[in-house]
């Protein structure tokens, strides 16, 4: 059993759904929870946006009982703003509050937030301490190895953040300078986990795209659990497949065509209900590549799915897919880690 704070209890080797801008919303979290995600996070939320009462920021606070345990993630580079945002989050009653010190994109990092805080570790510690003091929730942090190759200071960062009161730490195995290029380096994540001073849970993140890799990294690096981001986009079954492989050493069969279509439809309907038809349909488009991966000659159907603008029309195409490929058995497919846009798939 993995414990975060006094109340959050997770199973041994939990699987976490990463906070991803324009992805980790309630519709997506529904299908990930149904397939075995143990702890999920909202999209990251600007502390300044919350304080200004920005509609988009406030809407990201939406959480539901079936999601628990669920954390709300905030970001910012100012102590007062983060403190006020933490108090606002506190009222919405999530299970924990997470601070984003990992988003690498320019519009966030160059404003001194997200991974931009990695340039100033003293500031990172002050920001974290301010949030811890402002909320009754357990506070966790998501970050990277460092700003660049010459400043991989995650071991020091982990100790100092633990000292000011965080209850868990998730580490993406790249620097900010790497963005999502190259291979994630988990050796420093393991160094943090194996540090005798560290007693909080350490979760690893980066490049986990199969049950085999999840188990390999579990055994090699000894982390308490794994956070999965891009591999879950359009493939929420990654959670149940990893759990099955951890428990049995056997690979599950790939989801059937019927299951892929029905989950796609559920996701689309929930997306439209929560965001409205225009945004709901548009933001579903990034998921179809993996939802339908492995189906031969799928391009014609997929082109329709990413261009149609009416819910009924999209649902009709999904039904066509179901009928056209009835009885087709999909072989396990490598999951494509999609760099879906310039926001933050943490």
Q: Which residues are catalytic?
A: 103
Beta bridge partners of 15: 226
Residue pointed to by tokens 């009653």: 93
- Please state, in angstroms and rounded to a whole number, the distance separating the CA atoms of residues 338 and 341: 9
DSSP character string of 58-93: HHTT---GGG-SEEEEEE-S-HHHHHHHHHHHHHH-
User: Within a 10 A sphere around the Cβ of 320, how many other Cβ atoms?
Assistant: 14
Report which DSSP code applies to 345: B
Nearby residues of 242 by Cβ (< 8 Å), 6 or more positions away: 15, 36, 208, 211, 214, 215, 226, 228
Name the nearest CA neighbour of 97 among 151, 173, 19: 19
Question: Which alpha helices (H) appear in the chain, and where do they start and end?
Answer: 26-34, 47-52, 55-59, 79-92, 106-109, 121-134, 154-163, 187-193, 211-221, 238-248, 257-275, 277-284, 288-291, 299-305, 311-324
Q: Go through 157-171 and write b for each residue having 16 or more CB atoms within 10 A of its CB, e for each that does not.
A: bbebbbebebbbbbb
Reported as half-sphere exposure (CB side, CA atoms, 13 A), residue 316 has a value of 7
State the sign of the Cα–Cα–Cα–Cα dihedral 247, 14, 202, 229.
positive
Nearby residues of 163 by Cβ (< 8 Å), 6 or more positions away: none
Report which DSSP code applies to 44: P
- Supply the Cα-derived Rg of the chain in whole angstroms: 20
Tokens (6 digits) for 269 = 């309907």
């Amino acid at each position: 059993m993995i414990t975060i704070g006094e109340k959050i209890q997770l199973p041994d080797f939990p699987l976490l759904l990463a906070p991803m801008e324009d992805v980790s919303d309630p519709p997506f979290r529904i299908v990930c929870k149904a397939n075995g995600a143990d702890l999920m996070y909202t999209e990251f939320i600007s502390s300044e946006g919350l304080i200004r009462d920005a509609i988009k920021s406030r809407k990201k606070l939406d959480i539901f009982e079936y999601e628990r345990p669920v954390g709300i993630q905030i970001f910012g580079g100012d102590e007062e703003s983060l403190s006020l945002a933490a108090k606002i989050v506190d009222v919405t009653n999530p299970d924990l509050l997470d601070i984003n010190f990992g988003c690498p994109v320019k519009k966030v990092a160059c404003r001194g937030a997200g991974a931009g805080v990695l340039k100033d570790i003293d500031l990172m510690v002050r920001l974290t301490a301010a949030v811890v003091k402002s909320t009754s929730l357990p506070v966790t942090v998501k970050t990277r190895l460092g700003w660049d190759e010459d400043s991989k200071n995650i071991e020091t960062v982990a100790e100092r953040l633990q000292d000011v009161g965080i209850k868990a730490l998730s580490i993406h195995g790249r620097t900010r300078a790497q963005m999502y290029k190259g291979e994630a380096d988990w050796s420093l994540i393991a160094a943090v986990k194996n540090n005798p001073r560290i007693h909080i849970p350490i979760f690893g993140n980066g490049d986990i795209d199969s049950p085999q890799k999840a188990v390999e990294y579990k055994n090699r690096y000894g982390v308490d659990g794994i956070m999965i981001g891009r591999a879950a986009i359009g493939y929420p079954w990654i959670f149940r497949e990893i759990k099955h492989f951890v428990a049995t050493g056997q690979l599950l069969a790939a989801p059937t065509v019927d299951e892929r279509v029905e989950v796609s439809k559920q996701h689309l309907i929930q997306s439209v209900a929560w965001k409205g038809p225009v945004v709901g349909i548009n933001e579903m488009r990034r998921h179809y590549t993996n939802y339908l991966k492995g189906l031969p000659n799928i391009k014609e159907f997929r082109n329709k799915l990413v261009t149609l603008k009416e819910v009924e029309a999209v649902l009709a195409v999904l039904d066509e897919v179901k009928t056209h490929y009835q009885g087709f058995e999909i072989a396990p497919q490598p999951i494509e880690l999609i760099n879906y846009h310039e926001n933050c798939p943490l």
